[in-house]
Amino acid sequence: MKEQLEAIKQTAFEAVKNAVSEKEIEDLRVKYLGKKGELTALLKQMGGLSPEERPKMGQLVNEAKSNVENLISKKAEELKKKATELKLKAETIDITMPAKEQKIGKLHPLNTVLDDMIDIFQSMGFDVLDGPEVETDHYNFECLNVPADHPARDMQDTFYLGENLLLRTQTSAAQIRTMETRKPPIRVICPGRVFRADEVDATHSPVFHQIEGLVVDKGITMCDLKGVLEQFAHEIYGKDTNVKFRPSFFPFTEPSVEVDVTCSECGGKGCRVCKGSGWIEILGAGMVHPNVLRSCGIDPDVYSGFAFGIGLDRLTTTRYKISDIRLLFENDKRFLDQF
């Protein structure tokens, strides 16, 4: 039995010495010291020994067990340390390496200009509202004083989706929706996409953007309209920009005006962009027609108001000297990366 013990001890020592992984060490622990391990089995065999031999043998086996145990623990610790070292080495970060380039998204130029416009109007006390792009004939025309046979419908080539359903041709539809849900004093702007069956070229797109504005209160006059729009033009184009109000016509405003500003390309001398006139038209506006107020349940004898519709795309192309409106809609990265 002594020899057996010696043999087990030797193989155990050898095996532990050669072990290369923590798992292997764990297996050896089970193999020799576990409940069914070889050294444990030896202890169980001691029943066959004489009473004198039994304690001696017991002591030897126990000594062997604790030797193997110590060796295993030491080796296990050693392997663990090695593994940690390897792991740390593998995870070393080279802090001298150049960082990965982070691509940061940018605002589309239309959004940059829109944000500026919203800032300007909000600072004048306007709320920002949203309206649907798919509209009914009722909101896009009828309530805006444009009945079915009105020639003004020809001014705007409409995309119809059904008999009464259409893609809004103007954000003015939002005026009606606003007056239906809010009572004066009203001061809102409503930016959004509008659609017209226009021939596509450098200055026309079937999809473009307007910012509608509406002010309704007691005692609102043309002076308020001029003051607000002049202030707006000066904030967008700078104090030196001249602002010109030209008489015009819209069915839903009376009187109506169109507003021109000094051409930012040539400073008013006349160039290709302003077609030689020195002026750029940026918006239509006017005093809200009494019929429109009435159709929204607002008494035109008590209240008055003004409305305006600003072309966002024109403002953007003139600010950034973009020669073709189509560039705003193609989303070519090479173009967008310039802003």
Min separation Cβ 244 and ligand PHE, Å: 16
Q: Phi/psi at 187 (nearest 5 deg)?
A: -150, 95
- Return the number of the residue (57 or 136) whose C-beta is nearest ligand PHE: 136
Task: Indicate the residue among 8 and 282 with the shorter CB distance to ligand PHE.
Answer: 282
Q: Which is nearer to ligand PHE, 16 or 176 (CB)?
A: 176
When the beta carbons of 112 and 156 are compared against ligand PHE, the nearer one is: 156
Q: How far is the CB of 155 from ligand PHE (least distance, A)?
A: 8
Query: CB-wise, 39 or 257, nearer to ligand PHE?
Result: 257
Residues, the chain: 339
Least distance in Å: CB of 258 to ligand PHE?
A: 8
CB of 187 to ligand PHE, least distance (A): 15
User: Residues in the site for ligand PHE, rule: CB under 6 A?
Assistant: 170, 172, 250, 253, 284-286, 307-309
Min dist. Cβ of residue 190 to ligand PHE (A):
10
Minimum distance from residue 117 beta carbon to ligand PHE (Å): 15
Q: How far is the CB of 331 from ligand PHE (least distance, A)?
A: 25
The residue (of 278 and 309) whose beta carbon lies closer to ligand PHE is: 309
A 10 A CB-CB count for 244 gives: 14
CB 164 within 8 A of CB 283: no
For ligand PHE, which is the closer residue by CB, 28 or 307? 307
Min separation Cβ 182 and ligand PHE, Å: 17
- CB closer to ligand PHE out of 29 and 244: 244
Report the distance separating Cα 10 and Cα 7, nearest Å: 5
- Which pair of structure tokens corresponds to residue 179? 């007056």
Omega before residue 132 within 30° of 0, cis? no
Instruction: Please name the residue that has the structure tokens 């705007």.
Output: 156
**DSSP state, 163?**
S
DSSP 3-state assignment of 206?
Answer: coil
Q: Smallest gap, in angstroms, from Cβ of residue 328 to ligand PHE?
A: 18
Distance (Å, whole) CA 177 – CA 165: 16
Of residues 129 and 285, the one with the C-beta less far from ligand PHE: 285
Query: What 3-state class would DSSP assign to 242?
Result: coil
- Name the 3-class secondary structure at 257: strand
Report d(CA 43, CA 27) in Å as an integer.
20
The Cα–Cα gap between 253 and 287 comes to: 5
**In the complex, residue closest to ligand PHE by CB:** 309
What is the gyration radius of the CA atoms in the chain, in angstroms? 43
Taking each helix axis as running N to C, give the angle between helix 2-18 and helix 22-33, from 0 to 180 degrees, rounded to the nearest 10: 170
Give dist(CA 176, CA 178) in Å, integer.
5
If we measure between CA atoms, which residue out of 34, 62, 32, 70 comes closest to residue 46?
Answer: 62
